[in-house]
Amino acid sequence: MAAVKITETSLRDGSQSLIATRLKTSEMLPILEKMDDAGFYSMEVWGGATFDTCIRFLNEDPWERLREIRKRIKKTKLQMLLRGQNLVGYRHYADDMVDLFVKKAIENGIDIIRAFDALNDFRNLETSIKAIKKYKGHCQGCIAYATSDIHTINYYVEKVKELEQMNVDSICIKDMSGILLPYDAYTLVKRLKEATKLPIEMHTHCTSGVAQMMYLKAIEAGADIIDTAISPLSGGTSQPATEVFAQILKGREEDPKLDIEVLGEIADYFKPIMETYKKSGILNSKVMDTEPKTLTYQIPGGMLSNLISQLESQKASSKYEAVLKEVPEVRKDLGYPPLVTPMSQMVGTQALFNVMLGVRYKVIPTEIKNYVRGLYGKPPVAISEEIQKKIIGSEIPITEKPSKFLQPEFEKRKEEIGSLAKSDEDVLMYAMFPEYAKKYLENR
């Protein structure tokens, strides 16, 4: 057994899961040097929804945030989450965009890029993996964890072999819904360690109540790295608390050797900040609930809070249970996609429509149609002809890699935004989030 490494997620996934990514850069900067002293292997600070939220809600430049963090973090690796061909947006971008985005992320301070595809269709990771390697980043190939008849241990072993052949540096098992059960995790990690020499990182959420037990069994089976969040940003729909694992493993050969005193100081710094989010209502008490039904419905925490707010806004909270029951039905219809961004939002919205209108597939969002058309990649299981017909009529879905049909777009976007953009980073921001970025750049 070797020492387990810790990836600290509070500044990205902790904040994203509990307070909808509203943590401001100004709230992060004063504590960064202290975090750098804690002994983490890496800190996840960027990517996911941070990019979008910075521009849309915080009036901040996400690139500037990254540069400011990098200035202060000297010893710890900085990590980000990349949605493969979707980058940090919600559609597929052309290869020129993917290449430049990765280049700029690494130039501005990122060391490790965790790249995933919502369908585990790794054709959608080819361009980002090549770019990460080209610009000398550490490429972590990621597998979205789901359960269904086809999501067996053998399926995951094959997926790891696929990623290994694509030249990744490490593997992450991304359990976004917190549904990987402890004994299953033990068996899974054991099999993966037999199949590959690459380091295995485990990622989960506390939503269902099994996360800490899952991590312990995964560590017993030889997992190399786990994702945790400092206690004020842990639990609920976030990750298990960092300090807990620093204590549990202390003095054992798996001891991550974190500085427990420093961890205490970091926690004390974040407690009052999280109190203010609680008072303002941004931290909804529901996200801190333990919801074992997650194990049945497989709904990630972020998606749960999303559904709650959608139902509340339509004064239809009484339909919550019905929507939860409809989600697995829609997922089955659509070929068992893992419920991770953007699939979780798409499946959730379709389930909502089905329940609210009382007729299934009476209204179908464009994204669902595009998914069935093959524009997101290949579903894990083929979609039945009946469902296909219901959603896209007699159209024939594409079977090739979706980005093959996209024209280079960076130069076009650069022309569109003109002198408002002062750098390639600005153009990338505009290309991914045109209306919010334009407004942000005008105000700047």
Write down the domain spans for the chain. Answer: 5-280, 287-403, 409-443
How long, in residues, is the chain?
444
| Partner residues linked to 171 by β-bridges | 141, 200
More confident residue, 304 or 399: 399
pLDDT, tens only, 297-344: 887 766 777 788 788 889 999 999 999 999 999 999 999 999 988 898
Residue 118's pLDDT band (boundaries 50, 70, 90)? very high
pLDDT given for residue 388 in this prediction? 97
For residues 360 and 325, the answer to whether their CB atoms sit within 8 Å is no
- DSSP code per residue over 267-297: HHHHHHHHHHHHHHTSS-GGGGS--TTHHHH
pLDDT, tens only, 130-167: 999 999 999 999 999 999 999 999 999 999 999 999 99
Backbone angles phi, psi at 35, to 5 degrees: -65, -35
Smallest CA-to-CA distance from 104 within 57, 47, 174 is with 47
Look up residue 205 and give its amino acid: H
Smallest CA-to-CA distance from 39 within 283, 245, 291 is with 245
Distance separating alpha carbons of residues 219 and 1, to the nearest angstrom? 9
Distance separating alpha carbons of residues 71 and 60, to the nearest angstrom? 17
The mean per-residue pLDDT over the stretch 30-45 comes to 98
Pick the CATH number of 5-280 from 3.30.450.20, 3.30.2290.10, 3.20.20.70, 3.10.20.740: 3.20.20.70
Question: N- to C-terminal Cα distance for the chain?
Answer: 52
> Whole-number mean pLDDT of the chain?
96
SS3 of residue 435 by DSSP: helix
Distance separating alpha carbons of residues 134 and 59, to the nearest angstrom? 32
Domain 287-403 falls under CATH 1.10.472.90 = yes
pLDDT given for residue 307 in this prediction? 82
Torsion angle of the four alpha carbons 17, 147, 249, 30, in this order, in degrees rounded to the nearest 10: -20
Cis peptide before 342 (omega within 30 of 0): yes
